[in-house]
Amino acid sequence: MTYQFADAIDALADSWASIDGKRGEYRAGKGAVTILDEPGGHFTGYQADAQSMIDRLRRRGWDVTPLSPAPESP
C-alpha cells in the first residue's frame, strides 16, 4: 500500500482516535510502529482507516490538501 499525504493521514487518524477516546493509545503507538503496511494495534488501524477514507474521498472527486501553515492540534 502506498501512503500519500502523510500529514493528512496522521491528522485524520489522530482525530479519529480522539473521537474513539483513544488518542493516548494512538500517540503512544506512533513511536512503537515502524512498518505501516502491517495492520494491528491502535496506530496502524487508525492509519489504515485514515488512508482508506482519503482514498474514498479522492475517488469521489474530493481533494484533500492541508492548510498552510497547519494549525496546532490540541
Q: What is the pLDDT of residues 22-73, one digit of tens each?
A: 898 888 887 665 554 455 555 778 888 898 998 999 899 998 776 665 556 5
Q: Does some domain include residue 66?
A: no
Q: What is the pLDDT of residue 6?
A: 80
The cell for 28 is 503512544
Question: Which residue range is the domain that position 17 belongs to?
Answer: 6-59
Is the residue at 64 inside a domain?
no
Residue 18: pLDDT band (50, 70, 90) is very high
Give the distance, in angstroms, between the CA of residue 60 and the centroid of all CA atoms in the same chain.
19
19 inside domain: yes
What confidence score (pLDDT) does residue 42 get?
59
Q: Is residue 73 part of a domain?
A: no
pLDDT at 19: 93
Has residue 40 been placed in a domain? yes
Dihedral in degrees, nearest 10, Cα atoms 3, 5, 9, 11: 150
User: How many structural domains does the chain have?
Assistant: 1
Cell of 24: 493516548
Q: Are 33 and 43 in contact (CB under 8 A)?
A: yes
